[in-house]
Chain A
Amino acid sequence: MAIAPPRGDTAANGTQVILSGDSMTINMGPQHPSTHGVLRLVLDLEGETVTRCEPVIGYLHTGFEKTYEEKTYLQGVVLTDRMDYLAPLSNNLGYALAIERLLGIEAPPRATVIRVLLAELTRINNHLVWLGTQALDLGAMSAFFYCFREREVLLDLFEMMSGARLMTSFIRPGGLMADLPDGWIERAESFLREFPGHIVEYESLLTENEIFKERTIGIGILSPEQAQALDLTGPSLRACGIPWDLRKLAPYCGYETYDFAVPTLTGGDVYDRYLIRMAEMRESTKIALQAIDRLPTGPVMTADRKIAIPPRAELATSMEALIHHFKLVSEGFKPPEGEVYTCIESPKGEIGFYLVSDGTGKPYRCHVRAPSFINLQSLPPMSVGGLVADLVAIIGSIDPVLGEVDR
């Protein structure tokens, strides 16, 4: 192996990393258990120190954006589930809000409150998977079992309302697929009442755990300036000391009427990202309980028959309902010509949908601003200058879902 000359690279904290000796280039991934999917990293190592980190993505590219152009707006809902498969309801919500903006309609009040409730349950679901796998990556196996125990309750709830555990497709343009079934609210509420106690359980395993702290404190630091330059969003940005949350800054679905805090810390390291997500689960529980308290009665789908598919029972008695059903299923509703960009705060950051309509039943163009894709750009500045073993902790702390990165 040739001896590489001493080379300089700037670490996240601004210090110059100058090492000499054998430089080695290795591939981490795409098949590596800690890369949360099929992320490949090309690493330059000097000893155990990372001097260059280049993410190589695209292994899960499935052409979602091309597929959207061939589907009606309603059919496109199922594609959103499959991008960020840990937070499908957040993706459904962002897509539905974009289409509603294009159409110039709003969902009924009951649907809006249920959307908030589901978005927060999804946030908890996403953070539970994140927490379990992050702890597992660092060698703490018990947390994984605890997290997946609670996640199972959430998935049962999702299955109860939509028939699917992961790919719910429950939030539709104009409202919801259906109303919540009997007994759902009671089950959700009993889960939310006991959930803060479970968060204490996870924290007792990790927060003061010497090994966990050793592996995470001071690791993968990103300064607020760098984070903003790279447009990091979500919990990772809030761990850098920037209270940036679209639920507060650009409220949608009436988030401005809920009482919740935006947890913010200033360390910008892996440990702070962990603490932020733990605090966010508590805040999400609060929001979800408020949503249950104020749940109004009424329809869950817009009354506009040019947009909403008629109820099954009407098809047997009403000719108009049958015609509407046929037209909506075969051609879809037709928004006016125009373009919109709508974004919401998903568990991972800002997920945005840019839709261009040409007045037909299919989107002319649908682009997804995937938070995982943008956030992953922050990986090199976080990891250069650190140890290769810490890279595992850093990847996990960004919480990328490769299905969304590659789309």
Chain B
Amino acid sequence: MTAQTGPTTSPDATPPPAADPYAASEVHAAVHAAAQELVSATFGEALLEVQTFRGETTLVVARERIREILTILRQDERTRFDRISNLTAVDYLDLGREPRFAVVYHLMSRTNLARLRLRAPVPEDDPWTDSVTDLFPSVNWPEREVFDLFGIAFRGHPNPTRILLPDDWDGHPLRKDYPIGAEEIEFSFNREVVEADRAKTTGEREERYSPHRPVNNF
């Protein structure tokens, strides 16, 4: 990380080409380094990877230790990440990455105003992570949203239900393999394909609204 030298230039002056306007400030870079050191010293192998892009630091960590990592990052004097400003998930299916999902935590410190991103990979065949709602009450709804749209379960969540979609909804729309619902236009040359497709969709719809289907796979 290059430290910014000299006074900041006025907006009219053309900045020197080497200066990155999005580089982290020295204070924040120090906090990022402290967080990385802390997690690596305390949890060792649970810190899988460190990425830096445009002054933002991402720690890729094991989902099994996420509660302890968040706790220690909040308690330590040097980091004090006492706020999860954003919680979401990403489905890496189209990029072919393993594990398929990742839950993303955007931390912020109210004391030193630094930000940090934690990413916890979640495999497709066993999609869960630990809920941190008891540590950070603000992520209650965001965790439900991730469950709703990605189908990642949060163990220990006080109210693990869908939040945006109806309770009997089928599937998790933000998964990359969830179809976006376009219907192919029928012409004479593709009539058979389209009709077969339509028959299949109708069957699926009947199955979806069957009263005997369990609504929640928890």
A residues lining the B interface (CB < 8 Å): 57-58, 61, 63, 65-66, 70, 101-102, 104, 106, 109, 112, 228-231, 244, 249-250, 254, 296, 338-341, 343, 350, 352, 354, 356, 358, 364-365, 367, 369, 373-374, 376-377, 406-407
Give, as a whole number of angstroms, the nearest-CB distance from A87 to chain B. 19
* Cα–Cα distance between A118 and B164 once the two chains are bound (Å): 32
156-188 of chain B: CB within 8 A of chain A = 162-166, 173-174, 178, 180
Q: Given the complex of chains A and B, what is the CA–CA distance between A339 and B178 in angstroms?
A: 23
Min C-beta distance of A302 to chain B, whole Å: 13
Could you say which residues of chain B place their CB within 8 Å of the CB of A369?
85-86, 106
The 8 residue pairs across chains A and B that have the minimum distance between CB atoms: A231-B138, A338-B53, A58-B164, A367-B88, A369-B86, A61-B164, A109-B11, A229-B137
The A-B contact count (CB < 8 A) is 96
| Contacts A58-B163, A230-B137, A338-B53 given; does A250 touch B106 at CB 8 Å | no
Interface residues on B, range: 35 or more
Indicate if B124 sits at the interface (CB-CB under 8 A): no
Min C-beta distance of B204 to chain A, whole Å: 19
Assuming A61-B165, A374-B141, is B12 touching A340 (CB within 8 A)? no
**17 extra interface residue pairs, beta carbon distance < 8 Å, beyond A58-B162, A58-B166, A66-B180:** A61-B164, A63-B173, A66-B174, A104-B21, A230-B137, A230-B138, A231-B83, A231-B84, A231-B85, A249-B113, A339-B58, A340-B56, A341-B117, A352-B106, A354-B86, A356-B90, A358-B95
With contacts A231-B84, A341-B56 taken as known, whether A354 is within 8 angstroms of B106 at the C-beta atoms is yes
The 0/1 profile, CB within 8 Å of A marked 1, for residues 30-57 of chain B is: 0000000000000000000000011010
Of chain A, the residue at the smallest CB distance from B178 is: A66
Given contacts A61-B164, A61-B165, A63-B173, contact A352 B53 (CB under 8 A): no
A343 to B173, CA, bound (A): 25
In angstroms, Cα B90 to Cα A341, docked, is 14
CB <8 Å contact, B110 and A228:
yes
A63→B179 CA distance, assembly (Å): 12
Chain B contact residues, CB within 8 Å of chain A: 11-12, 20-22, 53-54, 56, 58, 83-86, 88, 90-91, 94-95, 104, 106, 110, 113, 115, 117, 136-138, 140-142, 145, 149, 162-166, 173-174, 178, 180
Interface centre among B91, B104, B178 (most CB of A within 10 A): B104
Chain B residues with Cβ under 8 A from A367's Cβ? 86, 88, 104
Other-chain contact of A102, B54, B94, B141 (Cβ < 8 Å): B54
Q: How far is the CB of B91 from chain A (nearest CB, A)?
A: 8
List the A residue with the shortest CB-CB distance to B22: A101
Q: Given the complex, which residues of A lie within 8 Å of B137, measured CB to CB?
A: 229-230, 377
26 A-B pairs (CB sep. < 8 Å): A57-B164, A58-B163, A58-B164, A58-B165, A61-B164, A106-B21, A109-B12, A228-B110, A229-B138, A231-B84, A250-B113, A296-B12, A338-B53, A339-B117, A341-B117, A343-B85, A343-B86, A352-B106, A354-B86, A358-B95, A364-B90, A365-B90, A369-B85, A373-B145, A374-B141, A376-B141
CB-based contact B85/A104 at 8 Å: no
With A112-B11, A367-B88 as contacts: A104 and B22 at CB distance below 8 Å: yes
Q: How far is the CB of A197 from chain B (nearest CB, A)?
A: 32
Closest approach, in angstroms, between the C-beta of A336 and any C-beta of chain B? 8
Residues of B within 8 A of A340 (CB): 53-54, 56
Q: Which residue on chain B has the smallest CB distance to residue A231?
A: B138
Chain A residue at smallest Cβ distance from B86: A369
List, in ascending order, chain B residues with CB within 8 A of A406's CB.
Answer: 164
Inter-chain contacts of B20 with A (CB < 8 A): 104
